[in-house]
Amino acid sequence: MSFEEAKQILQMEDNGSTLYDHLASVLLKVITEKPSDAVTSFENLSVGCKEEKVTLPPAPEDSSAATGPVLDWASSTAALFVKPDEAPDGVPAPDLMKDATLYKWAGVSFGDTETYMLNLSLKKFCESLDGGYEAVKFWGKIITRDGDYFVCYGKTPEDPEEMDATKMEGKDGANKYTYFVTKSPSAPWVALPNVTMAQIVTAGKIRRLLTGDLEAAVPSFPPFPGVEKNLLRAMIAQITADTAIAPSGTFEADEDGANIIPAANEDGAPEPKTCEELLEAGNWQHYELRINTLGRCTALPEPEDAEDYEPPEGDGPAGLLESCGDEGEGYTTGWSFRPCPGGQGMTSTSCAKGVSLDWPGAYAVGGGNDFVNIYVGNGLKYAESTYTPPLPSAIIGEWSVPEEEADAEVEPGTFPIEAKDVTTDPTPPAEEGEEDE
Amino acid sequence: MKLASLGALKALNLCASDRSYPHPPLPSLCAQDISHVSTKLGPSGFTLSPEEASGLEVAMIQRQMEEKMSSPLSFWGKLMGDEQDYLVAYALAPAFGFPTKKFYFCTTSNFTLKQMPELSEEYAGKAAAVTGRFKGDPSFPLEEPPEESPDDEEGTTESFREIHRLSYTVGLIDHDVSIVPVGSFIADAAKQIIKNKSFEGLSYGAAGALRSYVHFRKAESPIAIASVEKPGLSRPGDIFDSITDDKPAGAWSVNYSSSNTSSYLRSMYWPGYFFFQTVGKPEYGGVYFGNGIPNKDLAFGL
């Protein structure tokens, strides 16, 4: 540390004066008054100097750097707490405070106050929402490089207009739900666009972290067809399809065997499973449509004009209400189930927590007739090994003699023979005299 | 440091002053860092369940009293395994130059904190070669047991187990991501790293800048080493390695919380490491909630 730096520290402003000035005035006092006990009474000399100069603390500065953003946040958040005069119509909001208790057993929490603000935010959003959404549910949070996206969803009321059924699915497939995101409880919720097959397939081949800007470009190989909001939507589609699980028996297929509906017996609700039963992976079921390798939940529509139509490989529904106990290659199951509370605290009414091993951050908690699914993570699937980008597609073959010519001149099985070199100029330059004219 | 910002830091200061006071003050209970988990870690999205929080709180106090530690135990993080999770705590032990960290762990099925084993070079090499998720069982063997280990009464022939990998991984993560705000720790005249008691937190602008944070580890960059070793006082920002030099650029992300009253950092290389800093207050701490696997694909993700 140099002398100048040390001096700078002494000259730091404190309550309107600096230590440097104070020491200078104390020393000046010693030199002018020449006390014999300067060391013994040093404190008194210092106090004496301070008494001579009474100062009021300076008024706080009007605009510190933090005031603006904090005040903006406080004003917009305070608006969430205002109760409207008339209860507006709207869509039923999720009871986030009740679910948060279950999230906590999974080890997920957004903080007590933040959760409550999120609850208010969802409620307000639902009041403003119409267009046939049945109910809104909370999905989780995706961590990005700049802020996080809170995600909620509602059942898509209608198929998107001008939908090409061979490129994307409507409300019976991957676009069954419309997802909404916000970066803060006090910010508005924004609807994500519908997802296409190509987006789901490409999202599975790349490992990009989100930037926190919905409109940001997604530079990747293979090229991603869309911007960040499309990638986010595709990530959500894959995570939902893989990690939405419920105690088996909660859902059943409808009469067509194509859709999943909540199961109901004569008493209305299915028999709840005990905690010990829920520790078995076989007693859990996927209750959302799975996504096949083509990025679809349902089979491709058959073209009307083609007579002998062969569906591409991997086409067809990827499974309905599969049990969690059946899946996973290389290990027994993609889930780990634990009681919570366990150990000495375990009772017959304990919840069971399902931890997804494939999607770090995806949890399911079930107990009694309640169950929740929650995801908190960066949207990347667990990978056994280091990522290798896919190779570019094969180089296009060199030009060769078209088949009919080859058949005419060359016998099958032999290579075309190279023609003789052209030794004369095929386009001789015109004579000079002609050009001048 | 870490969650126990206040408690552990106080403790660190005790360590530094142990040299001058023959009777260090009695250890103070440091359970409040667990309560930080529910109040300060909101933006991270993760927390300890009531069972884990209470079990760990008791285990930490017990271990601290039994070992008569001069510094309180602080919560370090949770490392998730396939069957069980590990809860990790640490204590700062006095050492010349830079305090050393002693790590303790327990699983979520048995809340008894045990010290992590010291690793030989052989085991560290083996641990570095293991890939995949953690199992969650500290005694899970990661290699074929030696042939001449009969099932005799002793029965505990030392072999490479998951506990060794855990010890290695926690050390690695701590080395890479353990950070503090600039100015919260200083080098005293005797070149000991001590807590700066008059640290008052970072201003709003500084809290949102990467250059305001440094690695809390023994200096490794030549500039920082030279700054610690040169005679005279050193600037607090110079004696640690800056996180702005971490590769690749983008390995850290820094943000303000939604209320803008605190800022937080995340490591993109170790997904799950979360550090918070309250604007204008000496409140800060970091915690790890992850599966112990680094994001080696980071270059493709930025």
Q: For the segment B130-139, what is each residue's pLDDT rounded down to a tens digit?
A: 888 888 888 8
Domain membership of residue B143 (yes or no) is: no
CA distance A324 to A335: 7
Q: For the segment B69-97, what is each residue's pLDDT rounded down to a tens digit?
A: 777 888 899 999 888 899 999 988 877 87
Domain identity same for B122 and B245: no
Domain identity same for B26 and B131: yes
Domain identity same for B52 and B98: yes
Q: What pLDDT score was predicted for residue B39?
A: 75
pLDDT at B252 over 90: yes
Please give the average per-residue pLDDT across B171-193, as a whole number.
Answer: 87
Domain membership of residue B145 (yes or no) is: no
Domain identity same for B123 and B227: no
Q: Quote the distance between the C-alpha of residue A112 and its chain's center.
A: 21
Q: Tell me the chain B residues in contact with residue A143 when contact means C-beta distances shorter than 8 Å.
A: 45, 266, 271
List the Cα angle A379/A125/A172 in 5-degree steps: 60
Domain identity same for B122 and B185: no
Q: What confidence category does residue B266 fall into, taking pLDDT thresholds of 50, 70 and 90?
A: very high
Domain identity same for B166 and B271: no
Half-sphere exposure of B209 (CA within 13 A, CB side): 9
Q: What pLDDT score was predicted for residue B12?
A: 39
Give all strands (DSSP E) within A135-227, no chain letters.
136-143, 148-155, 177-182, 190-191
**Cβ separation A357–B82 shorter than 8 A:** yes
Q: In which residue ranges of chain A is pLDDT below 50?
A: 328, 330-331, 434-437
Q: What pLDDT score was predicted for residue A436?
A: 47
pLDDT at B150 over 60: no
B210 against B247, higher pLDDT: B210
Domain identity same for B101 and B199: no
CB–CB of B275/B264 below 8 Å?
A: yes
Q: Work out the minimum CA distance from A401 to partner chain B, whole angstroms.
A: 42
Is the Cβ of A278 closer than 8 Å to some Cβ of chain B?
A: no
Q: What pLDDT score was predicted for residue A90?
A: 78
Q: What confidence category does residue B24 fall into, taking pLDDT thresholds of 50, 70 and 90?
A: very low
Question: Which domain-ending residue is among B122, B149, B177?
Answer: B177
Return the closest-CA partner of residue A107 out of B51, B12, B154, B90.
B51
Is the Cβ of B52 closer than 8 Å to some Cβ of chain A?
A: yes
Give one word for A81, left, alpha or beta, with left for phi > 0 and alpha for psi -120 to 50: alpha
CA distance A247 to A284: 4
Question: Which domain-ending residue is among B177, B207, B232?
Answer: B177
Q: Tell me the chain A residues in contact with residue B258 when contact means C-beta distances shorter than 8 Å.
A: 73, 114, 183-186
- Chain B interface mutation, best of A77, A110, A184, highest count of B Cβ atoms under 10 Å: A110
Of B45, B50, B280, the CB nearest to A108: B45
Domain membership of residue B247 (yes or no) is: yes
Find the helix packing angle between B162-177 and B121-129, rounded to 10°: 80
Q: What pLDDT score was predicted for residue A407?
A: 57
The β-bridge partners of B242 are B214
**Cβ separation B49–A141 shorter than 8 A:** no
Is the Cβ of A340 closer than 8 Å to some Cβ of chain B?
A: yes
Domain identity same for B111 and B97: yes
Q: What pLDDT score was predicted for residue A265?
A: 62
Domain identity same for B86 and B210: no
Domain identity same for B131 and B81: yes
Domain membership of residue B151 (yes or no) is: no
Domain identity same for B34 and B169: yes
Instruction: Assess whether the previous peptide bond of A222 is cis (omega < 30° from 0).
Output: yes
Q: For the segment B30-77, what is each residue's pLDDT rounded down to a tens digit?
A: 334 666 766 788 888 888 888 888 888 889 888 888 888 777 888 899
pLDDT at B170 over 90: yes
- Greatest alpha-carbon span in chain B: 64
Of A70, A144, A208, the CB nearest to B261: A70
* Strand B284-290 with B74-80, pairing: parallel
Question: Which domain-ending residue is among B177, B208, B236?
Answer: B177
Please report the ipTM that was assigned to this predicted complex.
0.82
CA distance A68 to A80: 19
Domain membership of residue B226 (yes or no) is: yes
What are the C-alpha distances in Å from A405 to residues A398, A402, A416, A417, A419?
Answer: 16, 6, 10, 12, 14
Q: What pLDDT score was predicted for residue A330?
A: 44
CB–CB of A58/A38 below 8 Å?
A: no
Domain membership of residue B298 (yes or no) is: no
CA distance B257 to B263: 5
Q: Work out the minimum CA distance from A159 to partner chain B, whole angstroms.
A: 33
CB–CB of A349/A275 below 8 Å?
A: yes
Residues 6+ apart with CB under 8 A from A282: A248, A323, A324, A325, A326
pTM of the model: 0.80
CB–CB of A270/A249 below 8 Å?
A: yes
Return the closest-CA partner of residue A362 out of A286, A291, A289, A261.
A286
- Chain A interface mutation, best of B191, B297, B298, B302, highest count of A Cβ atoms under 10 Å: B297
Domain membership of residue B148 (yes or no) is: no
Domain membership of residue B147 (yes or no) is: no
CA distance A108 to A100: 8
Q: What pLDDT score was predicted for residue A232?
A: 92
CA distance B180 to B262: 14
Domain identity same for B199 and B89: no
Return the closest-CA partner of residue A358 out of A341, A380, A339, A382.
A382
Averaged confidence pLDDT in chain B: 80
Residue ranges making up the domain that contains B284: 179-293
Number of domains in chain B: 2
